């Protein structure tokens, strides 16, 4: 179970996994995990922090309509399905502020991935405030991967982003003046890209006062 210590809380994140490409009319699976990917630690859903088990996942379709996905508890992840009805770019995302705080700090967990169906591309305009954006495609080992980090559509510059591969490979890269970064996909498997941001600002959350909010943002890519 997650210990309420600073480093322990900050190291854990939510991430979404789904194939980056889909087929019109064919069922597409979506999984939501919680843990510390760098150390291959995936928490059982019974051990998820606070009320994370009640997070909501949304699908933004090519016409920009939004659908709430139905989640099933699979013990180590939450699972959902959708069937693409048209070609285009689909965005899957969650943004959940945990009910419980730690030392007057609130925690918000954000994750998103894109799925490309067919050739028509029209990325979602309805994305969380913080977003890590990359192409909806399957990468090949050795490919250069480009990532864009933004807040409310504005690029975030000189920010450190963690790149994590399944074999424990971790690399930290800073965004440039346009909020972009890139890295070479040296290993095969699922990569988690993660950014953490602490925002000062008081408020009231579920009847309790907080002084700041820690936001963790993730996306995933697949390398073959």
At 121, is the pLDDT very low, low, confident or very high (cuts 50, 70, 90)?
confident
121 falls within a domain: yes
Q: Does residue 89 lie in a domain region?
A: yes
In the numeric block, the tokens 């579920």 are attached to 206
Max CA-CA distance within the chain? Answer: 50
Q: Domain for residue 42, yes or no?
A: yes
Q: What is the pLDDT of residue 125?
A: 66
Q: Give residue 140's pLDDT.
A: 96
For residue 55, is it within any domain? Answer: yes
pLDDT of residue 88: 95
- End-to-end CA distance of the chain: give it in Å, rounded: 33
Q: Is residue 137 part of a domain?
A: yes
Q: Token digits for 87? A: 């070609």
Kindly tell me if the per-residue pLDDT of 148 is higher than 70.
yes
Provide the residue range defining the domain that includes 72. 6-223
Number of domains, the chain: 1
Grade residue 44 by pLDDT with cuts at 50, 70 and 90. Answer: very high
Task: Please spell the DSSP secondary structure of 44-56, one letter per residue.
Answer: -GGG-STTGGG--
In a domain, 1, yes or no: no
Q: Alpha-carbon distance 92 to 127, whole Å?
A: 9
CATH of the domain at 190: 2.60.40.10
Which residues, 6+ apart, have CB-to-CB distance to 67 below 8 Å?
58, 59, 61, 82
**Mean pLDDT over each residue of the chain, to the nearest integer:** 92
pLDDT of 6 higher than 70: no
């Amino acid at each position: 179970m997650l210990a309420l210590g600073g480093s322990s809380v900050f190291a854990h994140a939510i991430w979404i996994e789904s194939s980056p490409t889909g087929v019109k009319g064919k069922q597409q699976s979506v999984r939501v995990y919680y843990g510390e990917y760098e150390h291959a630690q995936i928490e059982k859903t019974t051990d998820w922090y606070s009320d994370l088990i009640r997070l909501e996942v949304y699908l933004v379709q090519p016409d920009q309509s939004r659908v709430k996905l139905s989640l099933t508890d699979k013990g180590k992840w939450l699972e959902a399905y959708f069937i693409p009805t048209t070609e285009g770019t689909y965005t899957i995302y969650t943004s959940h502020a945990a009910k419980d705080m730690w030392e007057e700090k609130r925690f918000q967990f954000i994750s998103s991935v894109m799925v490309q169906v067919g050739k028509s591309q029209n990325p979602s305009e309805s994305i969380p405030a913080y977003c890590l954006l990359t192409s909806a495609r399957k990468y090949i080992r050795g490919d250069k991967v480009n990532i864009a980090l933004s807040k409310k559509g504005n690029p975030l510059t000189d920010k450190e982003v963690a790149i994590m591969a399944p074999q424990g490979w971790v690399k930290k890269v800073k965004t440039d003046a346009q909020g972009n970064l890139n890295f070479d996909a040296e290993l095969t498997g699922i990569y988690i890209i993660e950014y953490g941001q602490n925002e000062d600002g008081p408020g009231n959350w579920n009847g309790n006062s907080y002084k700041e909010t820690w936001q963790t943002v993730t996306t995933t890519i697949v390398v073959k």
